[in-house]
């Protein structure tokens, strides 16, 4: 199977579009790249790309990928793209093929599950792979659909399917999959559209965040015991959320802000002022004791029948010592192991937090949820929160 770029080049006017013309081939011995670019073209879709034969084999996936193995996403095979496209984030001008904004939604590497039969698997239309991305991990399969006559469809329609493994999330596979934030710059689609085209590392093999500042030295010599309390950042109450670029917005949860520290098979739960409340929440502490060593910032809530935070129910649960059903909404990662992350931008810390939570065994993460953020205007997020009868929004700078 040989990758070709003639179709790609014929569709584009390179004097008008910032997309690369493409000439590079794969470096010998280098890991195969994998990426997904969220593409706000005529319709929002997700361009799934894997490096093979010196090009990026590409599929347009109609919806965000699902980590639920029972959910199959339509993936329409499109023309091969050059390897340089794996670092492209920006806006394709109107009037050009694929006009719209492109966001680096995921990046990493892929490994064929059967490398010795890979060419035959592509020809047959059944390719199984292992992904190591920031957002997608584990076993995945691309399966080409057949026509009613049993022959491959002329439209080259495939299905993207999550395989059953420790990274699968049955029943909740769509959770956090429509994240509007670049894994390389942290920008939303709107922020990318307002800004300039940016090029990022075209080979994100190590999963390290690009161009990040050096973290501070750990405040403790031991990474295998819970950290001491870390002072928390507090927000300022304002009438309206900021509308400037570089801000993202989270739902404000009506609960208790708690810092969870884990290490060496132990966990401590502290209030925003540093009081030790571990004994008040034994179920959360027991779960957290099994998590990798870290310091997490979040909000503990009781949810009503419509899954909205209810502060009165939270107080009643604590009073009645019925804290098992409470949910911890995690929104920041301050330490991971002995590494102090507080000098890193929020966009990097949240990417690290999501990857951290994905590593927790399913049984031990039933009481913790990742808090997504929105790159829309703060006013739009606030109006949505009001319509859902939520407490408000928290606005944060991506580089904070």
- What is the distance between the alpha carbons of residues 355 and 15, in angstroms, rounded to a whole number? 39
Helix (H) or strand (E) holding 300: strand 294-301
In a domain, 219, yes or no: yes
The reported pTM is 0.49
Regarding whether 222 and 314 lie in a shared domain, the answer is yes
CATH code where residue 362 lies: 3.30.470.30
Q: How many domains does the chain have?
A: 2
Give the domain extent around 286: 215-397
Same domain? 121 vs 159: yes
Position 1 in a domain: no
Is pLDDT at 117 greater than 60 in this prediction?
yes
Residue 252 annotated as catalytic: yes
* Residue 200 in domain: no
Mean pLDDT of the chain: 81
**210 domain-assigned:** no
Please state the three-class secondary structure of 20-82 as a single string: CCCCCCCCCCCCCEEEEEEEECCCEEEEEEEEECCEEEEEEECCCCCCCCCCEEEEEEEEEEC
- Long-range CB contacts (< 8 A, 24+ apart) of 381-384? 381/241, 381/249, 382/240, 382/241, 382/249
pLDDT given at position 140: 97
Question: 268 and 121 share a domain?
Answer: no
| Any domain includes 204 | no
- Tens-digit pLDDT profile for residues 268-317: 999 887 888 999 999 999 999 999 999 999 999 999 888 888 988 999 99
Q: Is the pLDDT of residue 234 over 50?
A: yes
Reply yes or no on whether the pLDDT at 207 is more than 50: no
Average pLDDT over residues 142-155: 69
Residue pair 298/266 in contact by the 8 Å Cβ criterion: no
Query: 229 and 351, same structural domain?
Result: yes
HSE of 185 in the Cβ direction (CA atoms, 13 Å)? 25
- What gap in Å lies between CA 237 and CA 244, rounded to an integer? 17
**The domain boundary residue, chosen from 194, 229, 245:** 194
Bridge-partner residues for 261, per DSSP? 268, 295
- From the list 252, 280, 366, 397, the catalytic residue is 252
Compute the Cα dihedral for 10, 13, 14, 18 and give only its sign: negative
- The helix, strand and coil proportions of the chain, stated in percent and rounded to the nearest 5, come to 20, 35, 50
Cα separation, 224 vs 185, whole angstroms: 32
Looking at 161, 194, 227, which one is the last position of a domain? Answer: 194
Q: Kindly state whether residues 153 and 62 are assigned to the same domain.
A: yes
Q: Would residue 323 count as lying in a domain?
A: yes
Do 392 and 270 belong to one domain? yes
Shared domain for 182 and 246, answered yes or no, is: no
The answer to whether residues 279 and 345 belong to one domain is yes
* Domain end marker among 135, 159, 194: 194
For residues 309 and 290, give the distance between their C-alpha atoms in angstroms, rounded to a whole number.
26
Shared domain for 296 and 181, answered yes or no, is no
Question: Using CB atoms within 10 A of its CB, is residue 284 exposed (0-12), middle (13-18) or buried (19+)?
Answer: buried
Whether residues 96 and 244 share a domain: the answer is no
Least confident of 16-20, 27-31, 306-310: 27-31
Secondary element (H or E) of residue 7: helix 6-10
pLDDT at site 155: 60
The answer as to whether 54 is a domain residue is yes
Same domain membership, residue 257 and residue 385: yes
Do 258 and 383 lie in a common domain?
yes
389 occurs within a structural domain: yes
Lowest-confidence range among 138-152, 173-187, 197-211, 311-325?
197-211
Q: What is the mean pLDDT of residues 184-202?
A: 68
Rounded to whole angstroms, how far apart are CA atoms 37 and 59?
A: 10
């Amino acid at each position: 199977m040989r990758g070709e770029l003639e179709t790609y080049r014929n569709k584009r006017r390179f004097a008008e579009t910032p997309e690369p013309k493409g000439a590079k081939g794969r470096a010998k011995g280098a890991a195969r790249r994998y990426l997904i670019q969220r593409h706000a073209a005529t319709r929002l879709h997700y361009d799934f790309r894997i490096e093979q034969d010196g090009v990026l084999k590409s599929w347009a996936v109609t919806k965000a990928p699902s980590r639920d193995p029972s959910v199959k996403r339509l993936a329409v095979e499109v023309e091969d793209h050059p390897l340089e496209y794996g670092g492209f984030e920006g806006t394709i001008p109107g009037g050009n093929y694929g006009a719209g904004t492109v966001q680096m939604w995921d990046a990493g590497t892929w490994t064929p599950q059967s490398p010795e039969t890979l060419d035959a698997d592509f020809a047959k239309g059944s390719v199984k792979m292992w992904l190591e991305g920031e957002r997608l991990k584990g076993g995945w399969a691309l399966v080409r659909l057949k026509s009613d006559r049993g022959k491959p469809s002329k439209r080259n329609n495939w299905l993207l399917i999550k395989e059953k493994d420790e990274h699968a999330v049955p029943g909740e596979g769509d959770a956090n999959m429509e994240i509007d934030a670049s894994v390389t710059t942290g920008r939303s689609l709107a922020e990318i559209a307002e800004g300039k085209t940016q090029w990022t590392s075209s080979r994100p093999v190590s999963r390290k965040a690009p161009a990040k500042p050096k973290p501070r030295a750990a405040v403790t010599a031991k990474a295998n015991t819970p950290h001491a309390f870390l002072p928390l950042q507090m927000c300022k109450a304002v009438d309206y959320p900021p509308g400037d670029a570089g801000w993202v917005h989270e739902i404000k949860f009506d609960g208790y802000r708690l810092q969870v520290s884990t290490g060496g098979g132990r966990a401590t739960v502290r209030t925003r002022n540093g009081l030790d409340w571990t004994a008040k929440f034994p179920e959360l502490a027991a779960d957290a004791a099994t998590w990798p060593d870290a310091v997490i910032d979040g909000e503990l809530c009781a949810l009503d029948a419509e899954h909205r935070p209810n502060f009165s129910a939270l107080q009643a649960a604590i009073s009645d010592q019925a804290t098992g059903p409470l949910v911890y909404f995690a929104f920041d990662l301050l330490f991971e192991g002995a590494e102090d992350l507080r000098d890193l931008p929020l966009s990097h810390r949240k990417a690290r937090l999501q990857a951290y939570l994905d590593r927790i065994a399913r049984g031990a993460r039933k009481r913790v949820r990742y808090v997504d953020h929105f790159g829309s205007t703060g006013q739009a997020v606030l109006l949505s929160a009001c319509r859902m009868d939520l407490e408000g929004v928290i606005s944060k700078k991506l580089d904070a």
